[in-house]
Amino acid sequence: MNATSPRIHFIASARPEAKTAFATLTRRYGQNDIDKADVVVALGGDGTMLEALHTRFHDDLPVYGMHRGSVGFLMNDYSDDNLIERLDSAVRAIIHPLIMKATLMSGEEVVYRAINEVSLIRQTAQAAKLRIFVDNKEQLDVLACDGVLVATPAGSTAYNLSAHGPILPIRSNLLALTPISPFRPRRWRGALLRHDAIVRFETIDGEHRSVAATADTQEVRNVKVVEVREDRQTSLTLLFDEGQALEDRILQEQFAY
């Protein structure tokens, strides 16, 4: 990033407050083409941040978010003042996405990346039945449930936390494997896995107990097998104001009540 005058590319969600902020900030700081920018500034909520990060897999252009939406865990406070100074002093958080490779009942294969989590969810009124392998070793022969997910540390405070999964420190080198409303085994609360673990889910009776798989917001339906692993070769950079680093936010979340 240019230390004196970073070239900024702004993006905004469709919310009125985000559009207003976009107009104000581009008028004040200019709008650079994405291929000439040093940094992306995303205006909206966490959904906007995830969308921005999903477009940066090829270049790792840093993304700085400002909260002009609903949920803003990954966003900085909004202000149209001193943006250049805030960008120059921002703290970097490096994260790695997950790769989801799903084989459908039809035999088709689909590959998506996820920043927060990969989740499997039942498509019908019947519980999903899944077999779970970790590093090619069967760990659960039958999980009857509404679903199950694998979350990154960055995503552990999102859907994973709502499903009563653990909050992971950002540098923990762990993944959270968390069931969603497990019916059998009822007392199973999930597992903590090494970041390089390969998790494979196989549907049981998938023709009748159909299951969908989602990588963040990208969904495929009627899956047969889903394999999830971390993509350590891909890095993404988030920027946070001093004193509001992502690892500090995650630590604070662990003491929230």
**Is 46 annotated among the ligand-binding residues?**
yes
**Is 161 annotated among the ligand-binding residues?**
yes
Residue 113 and residue 125: Cα distance in Å, rounded? 28
Sequence-distant (≥ 6) Cβ neighbours of residue 224 within 8 angstroms: 103, 104, 105, 202, 203, 206
Tokens of 46: 């966490």
Quote the DSSP letter at residue 225: E
**Is 117 annotated among the ligand-binding residues?**
yes
What type of residue sits at position 245?
A
Cβ atoms 108, 83 nearer than 8 A: no
**Is 31 annotated among the ligand-binding residues?**
no
Concerning whether 35 is annotated as a catalytic residue, the answer is no
**Is 257 annotated among the ligand-binding residues?**
no
Nearest alpha carbon to residue 48 among 84, 78, 91: 78
Out of 46, 59, 196, 241, which one is annotated catalytic? 46
**Is 47 annotated among the ligand-binding residues?**
yes
**Is 158 annotated among the ligand-binding residues?**
yes
Cα-flanking dihedrals φ and ψ of residue 239, to 5°?
Answer: -115, 135
Q: Is the peptide bond before 185 cis (omega within 30 degrees of 0)?
A: yes
**Is 173 annotated among the ligand-binding residues?**
no
Name residue 101's beta-bridge partners. Answer: 111, 227
**Is 136 annotated among the ligand-binding residues?**
no
What type of residue sits at position 217?
T
Binding residues for NAD(+), as ranges, are 46-47, 116-117, 146, 154, 157-162, 218
- Residues serving a catalytic function are 46
